[in-house]
Amino acid sequence: MPMDREREDRLKEILQEAHQPVAEAKSTRRRKSESPISGIGNVVGDGNTVTNNVSVFPKPPVRKVIVKTGDDVVDAKQKFILKEAVKNIVDLEAKLKQSPRGFGSVWSAFYRRFCISSYSELPKERFEEALKYLQTAAGRIKSAKTAPKKLGSDFTAVRITAIQTRCREFPDGTARRKVYMMEKFGASSLTELDAAQLEQVYRYVFGWKR
């Protein structure tokens, strides 16, 4: 019986010695996994918790570009006047020319004349020059010999409108025109003139210098 107990105790010691390296290895692995981790970009797993510093940069503000009419270019009213002047040329050519130009061609000639790519780029200081350029172009079209015949009553209306518009460009324009008409034809109203007289008044007012 004592021999059996001795043998049993020895067997227990052997088994304990055999399990001790395994337990130490597990303990070592546990200590390694619990060691502190620092730095950016670490990969975390197995339920461990790692405090990592992450830099978050705010998005730059979105800049909204607002296009405004500059102080040195034509304003909305002046652009409207230019467009109406171009429309007048296109309408006249459609009635009087065999090969009339369209809006694109008329604008292209305008852009070349003033070295711009859009009428919105026209310097404000050149507005009067640009308007006169378009009005002169329209005047040349209306000066065609066939204009009175082709336009009929429209020709008279167009001439009267052009004369009145031109006179408004000068502080004393209307008064000067009426004096001329009275001295030349004894008439005070444009509607009292025939086609030839109206043409003379037209050439007279468009010959004024600023």
Q: Give the model confidence (pLDDT) of 107-135 as tens digits.
A: 999 999 999 999 999 999 999 999 989 98
What is the percent of the chain with per-residue pLDDT over 90, rounded to a whole number? 33
For the residues 39-48, what does the mean pLDDT come to? Answer: 52
pLDDT score, position 161:
86
Task: Compute the chain's Rg from CA coordinates.
Answer: 48
Length of the chain equals 210
For residue 95, being part of any structural domain is answered with yes
- In this structure, are 135 and 188 located in the same domain? no
- The percent of the chain in helix, strand and coil, each rounded to the nearest 5, is 65, 0, 35
The reported pLDDT for the residue numbered 74 is: 94
- The secondary element (H helix, E strand) that includes residue 109 is helix 103-114
- The pLDDT value recorded for residue 76 is 92
Residues 161, 185 share a domain? yes
**Which domain-ending residue is among 144, 165, 190?**
144
Tell me the average pLDDT across 41-50. Answer: 52
**What's at 94, amino acid-wise?**
A
Look at residue 101 and tell me if it is in a domain.
yes
33 lies in a domain? no
Q: Can you tell me the distance from the alpha carbon of 205 to that of 210, in angstroms, rounded to the nearest whole number?
A: 11
Count of C-beta atoms within a 10 Å radius of residue 204: 16
Q: Same domain, yes or no, for 202 and 152?
A: yes
Task: Return the bridge partners of 73, or none.
Answer: 123
Gap between the Cα atoms of 2 and 13, Å rounded: 17
- At residue 201, the pLDDT reads 92
Query: Do residues 134 and 110 make contact, with C-beta atoms less than 8 angstroms apart?
Result: yes
Q: Tell me the two tokens of residue 183.
A: 């001295």
Quote the number of domains for the chain: 2
Please check whether residues 107 and 167 belong to one and the same domain.
Answer: no
User: Is residue 106 scored above 90 in pLDDT?
Assistant: yes
| Residue bearing the bigger pLDDT, 31 or 86 | 86
Closest by alpha carbon to 136, among 166, 112, 160? 166
Q: pTM for this structure?
A: 0.46
In a domain, 17, yes or no: no
Range of the domain at 97: 70-144
118 in the same domain as 153: no
99 domain-assigned: yes
Contact (CB, 8 A) for 119 and 79: yes
Query: 124 near 78, Cβ under 8 Å?
Result: yes
